[in-house]
């Protein structure tokens, strides 16, 4: 299961947390500590745009959550990815006169379609 916008489920600001926020935090903490979830091949991924926006309790080692930071790809990687998409699909085309490098510059930091 993927929980996108995890910072909206377990926000960093506990002072303003509602009863629903506190309940969600307790649930996420419980899931993180439940070794049985992993044993049953269940994977739960929380995605937050900024780690500091997520409740600090989920950052603790005792929370059971593993934290992985995935940086945005650099310009060259974005250009190579765009080029591979265009090369791999005859129906995928860039606008006339637009190179993969120019497209990579234009899409810096933009989410994927549907994302």
| pLDDT (tens digit per residue) in 59-68 | 888 888 888 8
Q: Which two tokens stand for residue 73?
A: 């790809």
Name residue, tokens 């439940």: 34
Nearest Cα neighbor of 3 from 21, 28, 22 is 28
Percent of the chain scoring above 90 in pLDDT: 14
What is the pTM (predicted TM-score) of this model?
A: 0.59
- Per-residue pLDDT tens for 25-42? 888 888 888 877 767 677
């Amino acid at each position: 299961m993927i929980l996108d916008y995890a910072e909206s489920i377990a926000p960093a600001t506990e002072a303003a947390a509602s009863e629903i926020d506190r309940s969600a935090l307790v649930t996420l903490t419980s899931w993180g500590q439940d070794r049985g979830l992993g044993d049953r091949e269940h994977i739960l991924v929380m995605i937050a745009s900024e780690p500091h926006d997520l409740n600090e309790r989920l950052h603790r080692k005792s929370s059971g959550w593993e934290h992985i930071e995935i940086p945005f790809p650099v310009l060259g990687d974005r250009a190579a990815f765009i080029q591979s998409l265009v090369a791999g699909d005859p129906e995928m085309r860039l606008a006339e006169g637009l190179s993969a490098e120019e497209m990579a510059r234009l899409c810096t930091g933009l989410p994927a379609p549907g994302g």
